[in-house]
A and B are shown apart, each in its own frame.
Chain A
Amino acid sequence: MSAGIKVSHIVHGYGKKTALNNVSFVVESGAFCALLGPNGAGKSTLFALLTRLFVPQSGDVGIAGIQLKDNPRHALAKLGVVFQQPTFDMDLTVRRNLKYFAALHGISGCDADKRIDAALERLGMAERAGEKAKALNGGHRRRMEIARSLLHEPSVLLLDEPTVGLDAATRKSITDHVHDLVQDTGLTVLWATHLVDEIRSDDRLVVLHRGEIVADGFAGIIAGDQTLSDRFLALTSGSEVAA
């Protein structure tokens, strides 16, 4: 199977502090991969590099078979991103927010309207298109942000701790929603989190700790006969080596 995301020997730091040290992993096309790591593990730095907020000091990233270094615009066109911070303009309507994003990808007019209508319909939120973003609750905003990130039909979706600040039921519904998207559309997903209950045993899992990968495989296999939570704590306490 081809690689949806290929991270090769990434090294990056701030001043003398190394944030990522020789990080390499591959997420197969059409897979859900969780990037698990405690706070400060380097997840945000990795996401900044994957979204080309800045470029790595060494190593490279491939998105849907396109090297970010060689063809950044083409690679970014294949990428959908949901950031940790909400990025909706709260004073603008939901439709206006979605139209703005579509335009950033060069989509406008009837084509943009069609895509926005379809996205809102899928979420059962068509009647709320005219409401200001600040009128939506946290869960709905998150769902809208996921819908927005898919407007340009990317083949890879990155989500940086998308459930932060949401209640348990909403977290589960959003996690299920993204798993369903992977099954139904063949989307490749990289889901950064520090919450183990968002990961299913058949999900791909990459565990990042202190800028290095300490486990890479299927969640059920990495957990072994322990719970994933216990295994994660063991991996990130420094007492055990990579699985």
Chain B
Amino acid sequence: MSGALICLVAVIQREALRFVSHRSRFLAALVRPLVWLIVFAAGFRAALGLSIMPPYQTYITYEVYIVPGLCGMAQLFSGMQSSLSLVYDREMGSMRLMLTSPMPRWWLLFSKLVASTLISIIQVYAFLAIAGLVVGIDFPWEGYFLAFPALLISGLMLGALGLLLSSTIKELENFAGVMNFVIFPMFFMSTALYPLWKMAEASVLLRDICAFNPFSHAVELIRFALYGQLNFEALGWVTLAFLVFLAGSLWGYDPARGMIRKKA
């Protein structure tokens, strides 16, 4: 095995071990979307009527509609959690330990990204399993397989956003701002909870913001994949957003130019 691959496997193992040792984190990651599904969706079911629209072939209940959005939410929170742990690692010094490795810095950061994405995918499948077995919301069996590559690219995109944010956040205390100004707007101004046409009824501007939000495209990519379909437009936007966020985070962690130099 090459040195770079050894390094990638080690970073993934470390993230997995940390995740397993923090059971409360896993529980929180699981409970959050379930609360939305069971409590929030139940309340909205009566209030919100949904028409037939792709990828759905028939009328669906609101619970069915928001499951892909909640998969995206699990990944969004996971990406931000990983960003939080990067800021913590930097304050604690273990980030420095990693950056003194002779592996290329972009590879080290990419390894971190892959590790956090795989963790987020485990969370999503655990949520889908409970949604299917307990709540009774299931998808075509091929959808569960095809969702994997969709979750991989959406997880990488959201993880790269977390990486970018971690390079700009000076202290752990500033992280509350990320919740208010990144997670909530990204989640609420997306197609996770309402379809675009429903948003347009309220405000065209809001619909346009939702359509521009890369998280919307991540949700649509997952939604179509769960029904065995590939949404090319969503894939294109999510990939583009991933590349932009990744380039930003590599700039942020560049020893010559980035933000990290201001925080020795």
Residues of A within 8 A of B (CB): 14, 44-45, 48, 51-55, 73-74, 76-77, 79, 81, 83-87, 89, 91-92, 96, 99-101, 103-108
Give the distance in Å from the alpha carbon of A91 to the alpha carbon of B3 in the complex: 25
B94 near A87 with CB under 8 A, answer yes
Answer yes or no: B96 CB below 8 A from chain A CBs: yes
B90-134 CB mask vs A (1 if < 8 Å, else 0) is: 011110111111111000100000000000000000000000000
Q: Give the contacts of B213-264 with A (CB-CB under 8 A).
A: 255-256, 258, 260-262, 264
B18 near A91 with CB under 8 A, answer yes
With beta carbons under 8 angstroms apart, the residue of A48, A55, A83, A105 that contacts B102 is: A105
With beta carbons under 8 angstroms apart, the residue of B22, B94, B97, B256 that contacts A54 is: B256
Answer yes or no: B2 CB below 8 A from chain A CBs: yes
Residues of B within 8 A of A (CB): 1-4, 6-7, 9-10, 13-14, 17-18, 21-22, 91-94, 96-104, 108, 255-256, 258, 260-262, 264
Give the distance in Å from the alpha carbon of A83 to the alpha carbon of B256 in the complex: 21
A108 near B6 with CB under 8 A, answer yes
Give the distance in Å from the alpha carbon of A89 to the alpha carbon of B93 in the complex: 10
Q: A48-B264, A54-B260, A54-B264 are contacts. A104–B97 as well, Cβ < 8 Å? A: yes
Residues of B within 8 A of A74 (CB): 102
A53 near B99 with CB under 8 A, answer yes
Give the distance in Å from the alpha carbon of A86 to the alpha carbon of B97 in the complex: 10
Q: A92-B17, A108-B1 are contacts. A99–B10 as well, Cβ < 8 Å? A: yes
Residues of A within 8 A of B97 (CB): 81, 83, 87, 101, 104
Residues of B within 8 A of A108 (CB): 1, 6, 9-10
CB-nearest residue of chain B relative to A152? B102
Please give the distance in Å from A156's CB to the nearest CB on chain B.
12
With beta carbons under 8 angstroms apart, the residue of B7, B14, B91 that contacts A89 is: B14
CB-nearest residue of chain B relative to A97? B14
Give the distance in Å from the alpha carbon of A52 to the alpha carbon of B253 in the complex: 11
Residues of B within 8 A of A84 (CB): 93
A44 near B92 with CB under 8 A, answer no
With beta carbons under 8 angstroms apart, the residue of B91, B100, B262 that contacts A52 is: B100
B102 near A76 with CB under 8 A, answer yes
Give the distance in Å from the alpha carbon of A3 to the alpha carbon of B174 in the complex: 43
B7 near A51 with CB under 8 A, answer no
With beta carbons under 8 angstroms apart, the residue of B10, B93, B108 that contacts A83 is: B93
A73 near B93 with CB under 8 A, answer no
Please give the distance in Å from B179's CB to the nearest CB on chain A.
25
CB-nearest residue of chain A relative to B98? A104
Please give the distance in Å from A91's CB to the nearest CB on chain B.
5
Residues of B within 8 A of A104 (CB): 7, 10, 97-98, 101, 103, 108
Please give the distance in Å from A93's CB to the nearest CB on chain B.
10
CB-nearest residue of chain A relative to B262? A14
Please give the distance in Å from B29's CB to the nearest CB on chain A.
18
With beta carbons under 8 angstroms apart, the residue of A55, A73, A83 that contacts B96 is: A83
Give the distance in Å from the alpha carbon of A99 to the alpha carbon of B13 in the complex: 11
With beta carbons under 8 angstroms apart, the residue of B3, B6, B17, B255 that contacts A53 is: B255
Residues of A within 8 A of B21 (CB): 91-92
With beta carbons under 8 angstroms apart, the residue of A54, A81, A96 that contacts B255 is: A54
Please give the distance in Å from B39's CB to the nearest CB on chain A.
33
